[in-house]
Structure 1
Amino acid sequence: MPAIPTIRRRMLGAELRSLREGLGHTADEMARRLGWHQTKVSRIENGRSGVRIHELEAMLDLYELTDPEVRESLVNLARESKGRMWWTPYADVLAERYTSYIALETEATSKRTFEMTLVPGLLQTPGYTRAVINALAPDARPEAVDALVNVRLARQSATLRRASPLNLWAVVDEAALRRSIGGPHVMLKQLHHLLEASEEANITLQVLPFASGGHAGLMGSFTILQFPIRSDLDVVYTESGVSNIRLERQSDLATYSRVFDKLHTAALGVTPSRKFISHVVKDLQ
């Protein structure tokens, strides 16, 4: 599996790009002066390639960075980006696009998500997750299904139960609550879990009811991930049946932020959403 850029690697690349641009040089120019392949500096700046410490030191010298504290912070970023990630043991069952997503999600500080058909992954119970995987991949080996369920649980732990938990704001279409994934027993557990999760300080859960009619999210589910320090690293993920599309342009981020604002305005408030979910529970009993 190819190396997946973590937010640390992307932060380092963004800082190096800023230093280079401050000198008025192109990435190709700097690569030539360092004696590297012409694409190497660009790949480091884009987070697609790691950088050895001695290579980083050479770049910082060329970029005329003398501040010892800033140099040390960039060296630390380079070291941290090489660390073993929690999903490494599951590499054989994870698609690259999924690994890329969880690598960013794990280090995000905030996540805004709109879900049309399913309960958000970070709020799923093991039984619900297993039923979703079996529906999407009916021929998957049992051990592969077990591994993917474990990955989902590890994702939840790495984001919602870390020292500084992810701030999750989810707007969920009523369809995701009404669709009986795994049968009534699984759905009841899932809905009760949603009610419990909605009480957490870092989780905002809103329901978009059928009664709201047409809405800004009719084209499908999407997620906006936000990161500390540099807002230019924020990303949008949209979903289709075969892939996740990653959008990083500021215009795309602005567009999807406006869509999310319209969705959460059209959705029920937090307390009415809990009452709505409770009514769905009663309908299932």
Structure 2
Amino acid sequence: MRYGPAVRRRKLGAELRRQRELTGMTSRQAADVVGWHQSKVSRIETGSSGAKPSDVARLLDAYRVADPELRALLGALCGADTTGPGDGRTGARRGWWYAYRDLLPSAYLDFISLESEASRSRTLETTVVPGLLQTPEYARAVTRAALADPPDHQVDELVRVRMARQAVLHREQPGKPLELCAVLDEAVLRHEVGSPEVMAGQLGHLLTTAALPNVRLHVLPFSRGNHIGITGPFVIFSFPRIADLDVVVLDHLTSSLYLERKEDLRAYASAFAILRAHALPHEKSLDYIAGIHHGTQ
């Protein structure tokens, strides 16, 4: 059985290999310590085979990794949700999203688990407000537009999930709030979603949320012309202390694509830096949003 998407398996394996090398152990010695065949350690380290939460815990114990933040992060990468009660078998804790496992596609669950462990998120949006910044009314309208005649109870649950995700912007434990930097094409602010009243509430909410010290918004006005992000939105997740775990997520209609190659990460990080420099500064962006909100732009 494989645990977690391929990108997480490979990143987990690379970090476990790094932790092993820090101890001076060979893969054979590590296997001897935990009582496995060497091939199992090798498969986990290359990402060709998944690791259960209990496997990761045994390896981290063997490597004498005591840092709870690092252990939680690596647990999340192997599919062990790390913010809820234990499952009674592996000692892993389940995240709040576990309760929605029958409702949400696996790609969305993977996205939420990565988002919950990330320390920073850089996102470009070209058509809709990022999920972490949506009001319930706006999220409801977006959900109805994205699905084919969904029943009310499904919409209610999906909106509830989206609102629950926003807790990362306010969390105190186990880590600091997520640092969110969002570049928004002006179309995001102009595209009427739901109704004029819904959009007015959404724009006001953007202004309120942008007052958080960990949130930065940058608007790309139409007057700036074409830009490097015109091909579509993306998200870059970064993780505490481990730059090699960064991942780019591209959303499609029915799936998500995870990019992890260093050249891809460099390309998207560079693109985001260019977009941010091309956009209005944070304070001027808030003035711009306020102008649209009050009908003066």
Name the amino acid aligned to 2:184: V
Listed as ranges, the matches of 1:139-218 within 5 Å are 139-157=149-167, 159-163=168-172, 164-218=176-230
Q: Matched residue of 1:224: which SS?
A: strand
- The answer on whether the counterparts of 1:14 and 1:45 sit within 8 Å (CA) in structure 2 is yes
Listed as ranges, the matches of 1:53-64 within 5 Å are 56=58, 60=62
Listed as ranges, the matches of 1:243-254 within 5 Å are 243-254=255-266
Cα displacement (A) at 1:148: 0.6
Question: Which blocks of at least 5 consecutive residues in structure 1 are unaligned?
Answer: none
- 2:238 is the alignment partner of 1:222: no
CA deviations on 1:104-135 (whole Å, 9 max, x unpaired) are: 00111111100010001100000000000000
- 2:131 is the alignment partner of 1:129: no
Instruction: Work out the CA distance in 2 between the residues paired with 1:206 and 1:71.
Output: 39
- 2:93 is the alignment partner of 1:91: no
Instruction: Work out the CA distance in 2 between the residues paired with 1:212 and 1:57.
Output: 51
Q: Matched residue of 2:17: which SS?
A: helix
Instruction: Work out the CA distance in 1 between the residues paired with 2:59 and 2:226.
Output: 55
Instruction: Work out the CA distance in 1 between the residues paired with 2:197 and 2:157.
Output: 23
Number of matched pairs: 272
Question: Which blocks of at least 5 consecutive residues in structure 2 are unaligned?
Answer: 81-91
CA deviations on 1:37-89 (whole Å, 9 max, x unpaired) are: 945652466483214369826993xxxx5xxxx34448955778421111011
Instruction: Classify 1:57/1:25 alpha carbon distance in 2 versus 1 (closer, same or farther; 3 Å).
Output: closer
- 2:114 is the alignment partner of 1:104: yes
Instruction: Classify 1:197/1:76 alpha carbon distance in 2 versus 1 (closer, same or farther; 3 Å).
Output: closer
- The answer on whether the counterparts of 1:44 and 1:50 sit within 8 Å (CA) in structure 2 is no
Name the amino acid aligned to 2:183: V
Q: Matched residue of 1:218: which SS?
A: helix
Question: Which of 245, 251, 264 in structure 2 is aligned with 1:233?
Answer: 245
Cα displacement (A) at 1:200: 1.2
Instruction: Classify 1:266/1:53 alpha carbon distance in 2 versus 1 (closer, same or farther; 3 Å).
Output: closer
Instruction: Work out the CA distance in 1 between the residues paired with 2:276 and 2:66.
Output: 42
Instruction: Work out the CA distance in 1 between the residues paired with 2:179 and 2:159.
Output: 22
Instruction: Classify 1:143/1:250 alpha carbon distance in 2 versus 1 (closer, same or farther; 3 Å).
Output: same
Percentage of matched positions with identical amino acids:
38
What is the root-mean-square deviation of aligned Cα atoms in Å? 3.4
Instruction: Work out the CA distance in 1 between the residues paired with 2:288 and 2:164.
Output: 29
- The answer on whether the counterparts of 1:44 and 1:51 sit within 8 Å (CA) in structure 2 is no
Name the amino acid aligned to 2:210: S
Question: Which of 247, 250, 272 in structure 2 is aligned with 1:260?
Answer: 272
Instruction: Classify 1:182/1:119 alpha carbon distance in 2 versus 1 (closer, same or farther; 3 Å).
Output: same
Corresponding residue of 1:49: 51
Instruction: Classify 1:9/1:83 alpha carbon distance in 2 versus 1 (closer, same or farther; 3 Å).
Output: farther
Structure-2-length-normalised TM-score:
0.80
Instruction: Classify 1:71/1:187 alpha carbon distance in 2 versus 1 (closer, same or farther; 3 Å).
Output: closer
Instruction: Work out the CA distance in 1 between the residues paired with 2:61 and 2:283.
Output: 53
Instruction: Work out the CA distance in 1 between the residues paired with 2:278 and 2:60.
Output: 53
Corresponding residue of 2:285: 273
Name the amino acid aligned to 1:250: K
- The answer on whether the counterparts of 2:142 and 2:193 sit within 8 Å (CA) in structure 1 is yes
Instruction: Classify 1:76/1:183 alpha carbon distance in 2 versus 1 (closer, same or farther; 3 Å).
Output: closer
Name the amino acid aligned to 1:108: A
Cα displacement (A) at 1:4: 3.9
- The answer on whether the counterparts of 1:221 and 1:238 sit within 8 Å (CA) in structure 2 is yes
Instruction: Work out the CA distance in 1 between the residues paired with 2:293 and 2:42.
Output: 55
Q: Matched residue of 1:89: which SS?
A: helix
Instruction: Classify 1:271/1:15 alpha carbon distance in 2 versus 1 (closer, same or farther; 3 Å).
Output: closer
